[in-house]
Amino acid sequence: MLARIKRFLGLEDKPKEQAKPIKPKEEESSQQEVEKVADKPKIGYFHLSGCTGDGIALTENYDILAELLTDMVDIVYGQTLVDVWYDDENNPYAIDDMPEMDLALVEGSVCLQDEHSIHELKKLREKAKLVCAFGSCAMNGCFTRYCRGGQQAQPKHEAFLPIGDIVQVDCTIPGCPVSPEIVAKVVVALINGDMDYLQPMLDMAGCTANCGCDLQKNIVNKSLCTGCGTCAMACQTRAIEMREGRPEVNIDRCIKCGICYTHCPRSWFPTEQINKDLGL
Amino acid sequence: MVLGTYKEAVSARATEKQIQKVAQDGGIVTALLSYALDEGIIEGAVVAGPSEELWKPEPLVAMTSEEIISAAGTKYTFSPNVAALKKAVRQYGLEKVGTVGTPCQLNGIRKMQSYPFGTRFLADKMTLVVGIFCMENFPFASLETFINEKMKSSPEVTEKMDIGKGKFWIKALGEDIGFPLKETHGYEQAGCNICPDYTAELADLSTGSVGAPDGWSTVLKRTDAGASIFDQAVKAGIIETKDISTVKPGLPLLEKLSLGKKDGAKKESDNRRELGLPVPF
Ligand SMILES: Cc1cc2nc3c(=O)[nH]c(=O)nc-3n(C[C@H](O)[C@H](O)[C@H](O)COP(=O)(O)OP(=O)(O)OC[C@H]3O[C@@H](n4cnc5c(N)ncnc54)[C@H](O)[C@@H]3O)c2cc1C
Ligand code: SF4
Ligand code: SF4
Ligand code: SF4
């Protein structure tokens, strides 16, 4: 199965020793390549104020999804994927208590005026070893940054925050939505205990505010921009145009997802990982 | 590893006369991308095509060899080719994309492939990434200063631009005009000052002029994919090669320049860190 995922991710023809985990969990290293992972990570999928786009991205790993869900991970909590959630008197499937889990994937920002969401978020922080802001809304608010209430049927629901403003977040996968490939790569890294691969996502977890103007403030203003155009490629709303070799952000189109800055090779650069992936 | 990891270095040029005429050096980029397109290895290529303004390139999704050839030659200013990769995949529906870029552009592509956060189904479509050597790049306004003020010429009559033998050259009305490269310092983009990569170390295959005689290129074969496409093109007679050890000045000059660039980048990065500024590598 792991071999199949690697093939799917285009990691197949690398030398054997490079495909191995960098920091294998003790005593498990000899079993890394076996078909079934003995110790499946328990994963919860939480849907706060999100659009399910990130959850859909997970399922868009068509080629490997069935095996991923049966052989590689246990989804122990989630509405859309497993129909298990808790603390809802109107739901016959609701459970009494949230299960313990290795990883909580949290999609969406959190509405301060929605008691249930705040409660679920605090609870999952207690129950999950690792809390991951899954998608830009959870990480930095993304377009829910523009929320301001005044709409039916909950005119009071006006304040939406990245989850890191309320609980401690351990890692983050930005994207609006995240790509199917990054979800698959993260799962593989988790199973392999490849903390080096996950490191940038741990480093970014503290960041709860992004905008297209990150490029101007943190890259152009710091003499780092090379006019490569990666930010314009990555922008999911085509808010960026390259002019005289510099990004120009149409702030009326920008949804504050942070993907431009995340992808800019001058914001952070994973040299070793890239060499490894290329077999160089 | 001052030239990055590579399998083999050769001196090479395109055999096609039409390409030799318009190419910057040995026409390796144009010949290789056209060959890959004709053979169905790629379905299109993102290159630095012409724009409405002379000498100001614009990324072009080339779907034919003619279009690839129309983009031959070096433009010493920004062509954000990476930005057009998404267009190639989404608007043109390409499954296998070729491209050419400076080392910093390759940084953006390779980082996206290793960490495809927001770029769904792009990473696996980058089939052939050709890198070109790069010492520095210039804002368009700097080029205008060079051509109009320093060389007292104009973009309209300029047929080619080149850097070599310590000078910045243009060919204008059949005449070669040059001025000392030293005088270009201060006109390059500031982001280049911390760039440690001269030979496009993350390319499938890198090429540039340094090391090779006029009309020829130096080629570094890096990944399996890059080496195999290049070897096929040689076998098909599209590209001819010479043993690099038989050409002058050869690899020693390339290594010297590459090392010099790395040293300079390190110095500038240290300076910036001392000022409390961020440096990505
Ligand atoms: C800014 C810059 C600096 C360079 N500095 C050096 C150097 O110091 N030493 C050295 O040996 N070589 C350098 N080169 C590379 C060299 O000028 C040639 O591009 C290279 O040798 C390829 O020649 P060729 O005949 O194989 O390519 P050709 O067949 O002429 O094709 C050139 C290809 O490069 C693309 N291209 C042109 N301009 C740009 C641009 N600005 N950005 C991205 N792609 C572009 C074109 O689309 C075309 O596909 C530099 C190139 C650039 C763009
Ligand atoms: S400019 Fe684009 S990529 Fe950047 S934050 Fe705004 S919407 Fe996202
Ligand atoms: S990705 Fe970064 S370096 Fe490249 S053009 Fe955008 S801001 Fe500049
Ligand atoms: S010197 Fe480096 S940063 Fe500048 S254009 Fe060349 S590759 Fe890009």
pLDDT by residue (tens digit) across B129-162? 999 999 999 999 999 999 999 999 999 999 999 9
Distance, CA of B13 to CA of B234 (rounded, Å): 10
Contact B118 A257 (CB under 8 A): yes
CB B246 within 8 A of CB B216: no
Give the separation between CA A116 and CA B74, rounded to whole angstroms.
60
pLDDT at B254 over 90: yes
- Amino acid found at A220: V
**Which of A155, A165, A204 lies closest to A182, judged by CA?**
A204
Tell me the pLDDT tens digit for each residue of B37-62.
Answer: 999 999 999 999 999 999 999 999 99
pLDDT tens-digit readout, A159-216 = 999 999 999 999 999 999 999 999 999 988 988 889 999 999 999 999 999 999 999 9
Residue A28 pLDDT: 40
Residue A259 at interface with chain B, using a CB cutoff of 8 Å: yes
A56 touches B: beta carbon within 8 Å: no
Nearest to A230 by CA among B276, B83, B260: B83
In this structure, what are the phi and psi dihedrals at residue B84, rounded to the nearest 5 degrees?
A: -85, -5
Is the pLDDT score of A88 beyond 90? no
pLDDT at A31 (0 to 100) = 40
Q: Which domains does chain B have, with CATH numbers?
A: 8-137+196-275 (no CATH), 138-187 (3.10.450.750)
Distance (angstroms) between ligand 3 centre and the Cα of A228 equals: 5
Q: Cα-flanking dihedrals φ and ψ of residue A76, to 5°?
A: -105, -5
- What average pLDDT does chain B have? 97
**More confident position, B254 or A40:** B254
C-alpha of residue A18 to centroid of ligand 4, in Å: 29
The ligand with the least distance to the CA atom of A137 is 2
Instruction: List, in order of start, the domains of chain A with CATH numbers.
Output: 38-204 (3.40.50.700), 212-277 (3.30.70.20)
Alpha-carbon distance of B13 to B29, in angstroms, equals 10
- Ligand 1, atom 16: closest residue by C-alpha: B208
Average pLDDT, chain A: 88
Q: Which residue has the higher pLDDT, B139 or A95?
A: B139
User: Which DSSP state fits B8?
Assistant: E
Mean of the pLDDT values across residues A222-230? 98
Confidence of residue A2 (pLDDT cuts 50, 70, 90): low
pLDDT above 60 for B66? yes
- Paired sense of beta strands A101-107 and A246-249, if any: unpaired
Query: pLDDT confidence of A38, banded at 50, 70, 90?
Result: low
User: How many Cβ atoms sit within 10 Å of the Cβ of residue B177?
Assistant: 17
Compare all CA atoms of chain B with the CA of A258 and give the residue at the minimum distance: B118
- Mean pLDDT computed over A222-237: 98
SS3 B213: coil
The residue ranking higher by pLDDT, A39 or A263, is A263
Contact B202 A274 (CB under 8 A): yes
Ligand 2: centre distance to CA A12 (Å): 33
Q: What percent of chain B shows pLDDT beyond 90? A: 99
CA distances from A41 to A102, A124, A171, A269, B19 (A): 6, 16, 16, 29, 56
Cβ B8 vs Cβ B242: under 8 Å? no
- CB B217 within 8 Å of CB B26: yes
State the Cα–Cα distance between residues B230 and B219, nearest whole angstrom.
Answer: 10
Q: Which residue from B78, B112, B118 is facing A227, i.e. has the nearest CB?
A: B78
Distances (CA, A) of B249 to A59, A222, B42, B164, B171: 55, 38, 34, 13, 23
- Give A39's pLDDT tier (boundaries 50, 70, 90): confident
CA distance A105 to A172: 9
Residue of A250, A244, A203 whose CA lies nearest to A225:
A244
* CA-based nearest distance A237→chain B, Å: 11
Size of interface A-B (CB pairs under 8 A): 172
pLDDT band at residue A40, thresholds of 50, 70 and 90? confident
Which residues lie below 8 Å from residue B21, measured CB to CB, with a gap of 6+?
Answer: none
The answer to whether B139 contacts A13, with C-beta atoms less than 8 Å apart, is no
Instruction: Please answer yes or no on whether A264 and B83 come within 8 Å at the CB atom.
Output: no
- Minimal CA–CA distance to A232: which of B67, B58, B63? B58
> What pLDDT band is residue A123 in, cutting at 50, 70 and 90?
very high
Q: What is the pLDDT of residue A23?
A: 40
- Ligand 1 mean position, distance from CA A232 (Å): 22
Q: Which chain A residue's Cα is nearest to B116?
A: A182
pLDDT score at A5: 58
How many Å apart are CA A80 and CA A45, to the nearest integer? 9
Nearest protein CA to atom 8 of ligand 4, as residue: B104
> Does ipTM top 0.95?
yes
pLDDT at position A15: 39
Cα nearest neighbour of A226 on chain B: B191
Instruction: Tell me if A43 sits within 8 A of A103, measured CB to CB.
Output: yes
Residue A86, pLDDT score: 87
Residue window 185-244, chain A: list those with CB within 8 Å of chain B.
185, 200, 218, 222-230, 232-234, 236, 240, 242, 244
pLDDT (average), residues B89-105: 98
pLDDT band at A81 (very low <50, low <70, confident <90, very high): confident
- The mean pLDDT of A221-227, rounded to a whole number, is 98
Q: How large is the average pLDDT for residues B8-27?
A: 98
Mean pLDDT of A95-103: 92
- The answer to whether A46 touches A120, Cβ cutoff 8 Å, is yes
Q: Assess contact for A228 and B109: CB atoms under 8 A.
A: no
Q: Which helix (H) or strand (E) holds A107?
A: strand A101-107
Q: What is the pLDDT of residue A190?
A: 87
Rounded distance, CA A132 to CA A127, Å?
A: 13
The whole-number pLDDT of residue A150 equals 97
For residue range A48-59, list pLDDT tens digits in order.
999 999 999 999
Residue nearest to atom 3 of ligand 4 (CA): B192
| B17: closest CA of chain A, how far (Å) | 31
C-alpha B36 – ligand 3 centre gap (Å): 29
Assess whether pLDDT exceeds 70 at residue A33: no
Of B226, B251, B110, the C-alpha closest to A276 is B110
Mean pLDDT in residue range B31-42: 98
- For residues B224-243, average pLDDT: 98
Residue A72, pLDDT score:
85
Residues of B whose CB is below 8 A from A223: 190-191, 193, 272, 277
DSSP 8-state assignment for residue A30? G
**Ligand 1 atom closest to the CA of B77, numbered from 1:** 41
Of B109, B120, B201, the CB nearest to A179: B120
Q: For A19-33, A263-277, B195-209, which range has the lowest pLDDT when averaged over its residues?
A: A19-33
pLDDT of A3 reads 64
Asked if A15 reaches chain B (Cβ–Cβ under 8 Å), the answer is no
User: What pLDDT does A188 receive?
Assistant: 87
Ligand 2 pocket (Cβ < 6 Å) reads A 210-212, 234-237, 239-240, 249, 254-260
Q: What is the pLDDT of residues A7-30, one digit of tens each?
A: 655 555 443 333 333 343 444 434
Cross-chain residue pair A273–B114, CB shorter than 8 Å: yes
Distance spanning both ends of chain B, measured CA to CA: 17
Q: How far is B16 from chain A (nearest CA, A)?
A: 30
Phi, psi of A19 (to 5 degrees): -75, -15
- Overall residue count recorded for chain A in this entry: 280
Q: Where are any strands of DSSP class E within chain B?
A: 8-14, 44-49, 58-62, 97-101, 126-132, 158-164, 167-172, 175-180, 205-208, 217-221, 239-243
- Chain B nearest C-alpha distance from A185 (Å): 8
pLDDT recorded at residue A1 = 54
Average pLDDT over residues B157-176: 95
Burial of residue A223, with CB atoms counted within 10 A of its CB: 0-12 exposed, 13-18 middle, 19 or more buried = middle
| Average pLDDT estimate for A79-97 | 83
By most ligand atoms within 8 Å of CB, the mutation choice from A215, A223, A241, A243 for ligand 3 is A215
Angle made by CA atoms B126, B130, B136, in degrees to the nearest 5: 120
The answer, yes or no, to whether any atom of ligand 4 lies below 6 A from the CB of B104, is yes
Answer whether B201 contacts ligand 4 (Cβ < 6 A): no
Interchain contact, B189 vs A268, CB within 8 Å: no
The chain B residue lying nearest A265, using CA atoms, is B108
